[in-house]
């Protein structure tokens, strides 16, 4: 998804650390990168939030999830074959407003290194 700078989808209040602080913890930040530790317990849904920078993701523990947009439309259901594994690194572009529901049996935990210089 590409959203232009200044678009309300990138509103500061939707930033992951502001909109969903229970699930996103800041590990490090400078002018170039922001490193987040994301944890979602089984059965939990992360509130509507964004990630405005592309990021390298490292999966510490895997669980199936459903990502929905702001209107509730399913964007990704990992049970449909979009799965990863613990110990795998992935790339993600910026993510507009979305929720994420852990529909699996274990904690979903991901370290993300957001690249500020490559953002929206």
pLDDT at 10: 81
Q: Token pair of 65, please? A: 């999830």
Mean pLDDT score of the chain: 90
CATH 3.80.10.10 fits 24-118, yes or no: no
Taking phi over 0 as left and psi of -120 to 50 as alpha, with beta for the rest, 17 belongs to alpha
pLDDT band per the 50, 70, 90 thresholds, residue 23 = very high
pLDDT tens digits for 27-47? Answer: 999 999 999 999 999 999 999
CA 53, CA 85: separation in Å to the nearest integer?
23
CA 115, CA 67: separation in Å to the nearest integer?
22
Torsion of CA 71, 89, 105, 70, to 10 degrees: -10
Residue 10 C-alpha from the chain's centroid: 14
Q: What is the pTM of this model?
A: 0.86
Taking phi over 0 as left and psi of -120 to 50 as alpha, with beta for the rest, 81 belongs to left
pLDDT at 4: 47
Q: Provide mean pLDDT across the span 1-10.
A: 54
């Amino acid at each position: 998804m590409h959203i232009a700078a200044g678009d309300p989808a990138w509103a500061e209040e939707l930033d992951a650390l502001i909109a969903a602080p229970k699930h996103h913890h800041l590990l490090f930040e400078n002018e170039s990168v922001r490193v987040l530790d994301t944890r979602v317990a089984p059965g939990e849904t992360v509130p509507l939030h964004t990630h405005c920078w592309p990021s390298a993701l490292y999966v510490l523990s895997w669980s199936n999830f459903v990502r929905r947009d702001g209107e509730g439309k399913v964007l990704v259901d990992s049970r449909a074959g979009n799965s990863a594994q613990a110990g795998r690194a992935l790339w993600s572009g910026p993510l507009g407003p979305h929720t994420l529901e852990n529909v699996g049996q274990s904690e979903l935990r991901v370290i993300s290194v957001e690249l500020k210089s490559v953002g929206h």
